[in-house]
Amino acid sequence: MSAAGAAAQPTPAGVPLKLELAGLHVSYVTREGAAIEAVGGIDLQVPDKPGVGEIVVLLGPSGCGKSTVLKSVAGLLRPTRGEVRVGGQPVTGVGRDRGMVFQQYTSFGWLTVAENVGYGLRLAGVPKAQRQEQVEHYLQLVGLYDYRQLYPKSLSGGMKQRVAIARTLINRPRLLLMDEPFGALDPQTRWEMQTLLLEIARREDATIVLVTHDVSEAVYVGDTCYVLTPRPARIVERVEVPSFGDRTPALKAAPEFRAVEQALLARLYARLPGSAETVSR
């Protein structure tokens, strides 16, 4: 991987793409009738790398439009201009090839943990025995197997988010989309969830697109990081995060980690209002 300060090269021609944003613009009108440009033209390519789990991070200040980008990939918002393609196919709405995990917990309160995780498979008509086998696999993956018979009201915030992740992963989406999924968690639980995310990417061969404004989180979990401007969101730099050794809490205090973190902070805050540096493109 390149150093934190080096801009990554575009995806070579002919390489299959798992995700592509081509000239993505998203605007909307407020209740007061004002036109708001949320995304001001984004081009982004995530190559398909079979057998290699990857976490792509969209890093930007709060309110910059990064969640709007993610919702466009999910098919929840229609682009004003441009196109979103997954596996070479245009996104025209929601689909099972994309799974979304939100910051808010979305479990069904009247279902157990196991029933929540298997809910999508049940709707799809997957036989009970097969469904149970897959539910057990994903509960083991996220560390909730021993809590499978509990109801969401008995779970902590981190455990509820683990349920949401397992319920999304069990549908085997091509892309796992995560919108500030750990923002409401305490620091210890947040670190545990970040570590879980790294394990999921590697063990499940998952491609994860994570939205965050937390620079430390971006460095800790990310393989590739896109730095976005304040609204309307534009990409000002793509950075390949160096490979680190074991991901433990001590890593965040290591000089090499802090160097990448400081480099990204400089890029991020140089684009905020009042900065002496202007956006180059």
DSSP state of 240: E
Retrieve residue 251's tokens.
Answer: 């890593």
Kindly give, in sequence order, each residue whose CB lies less than 8 Å from that of residue 89, ignoring residues fewer than 6 positions away: none
56-111 per-position pLDDT tens digit? 999 998 889 999 999 999 999 999 999 999 999 999 999 989 999 987 777 888 99
Decide if 159 is inside a domain.
Answer: yes
Instruction: Domain count for the chain, please give it.
Output: 1
Decide if 68 is inside a domain.
Answer: yes
Angle at 28 between CA 24 and CA 31, to 5 degrees: 170
Decide if 100 is inside a domain.
Answer: yes
231-244 per-position pLDDT tens digit? 999 999 899 988 88
Q: Which of 55, 84, 44 minimizes the C-alpha distance to 235?
A: 44
Decide if 8 is inside a domain.
Answer: no
Single-letter residue type at 133: E
Range of the domain at 44: 17-269
Decide if 172 is inside a domain.
Answer: yes
DSSP letters spanning 161-227: HHHHHHHHHTT--SEEEEESTTTTS-HHHHHHHHHHHHHHHHHTT-EEEEEES-HHHHHHH-SEEEE
CATH number at residue 133: 3.40.50.300
How far apart CA 85 and CA 74 sit, in angstroms, is 11
Residue 168: is it exposed, middle or buried by C-beta count within 10 angstroms (0-12/13-18/19+)? buried
Single-letter residue type at 55: I
How many distinct helices (H) and strands (E) make up the chain? 8, 10
- C-alpha dihedral over 25, 99, 4, 265, to 10 degrees? 70
Decide if 166 is inside a domain.
Answer: yes
Please give the average pLDDT of every successive group of 10 residues along the chain, which has 281 residues: 42 78 93 89 90 90 91 95 94 92 83 94 91 94 94 91 93 93 85 89 90 93 93 92 79 89 86 45 30
pLDDT at 186 (0 to 100):
85
What does pTM read for this prediction?
A: 0.87
Neighbouring C-alpha atoms within 13 Å toward the C-beta of 151: 5
How far apart CA 145 and CA 7 sit, in angstroms, is 42
Decide if 60 is inside a domain.
Answer: yes
Retrieve residue 139's tokens.
Answer: 């509960």
CB 22 within 8 Å of CB 90: no
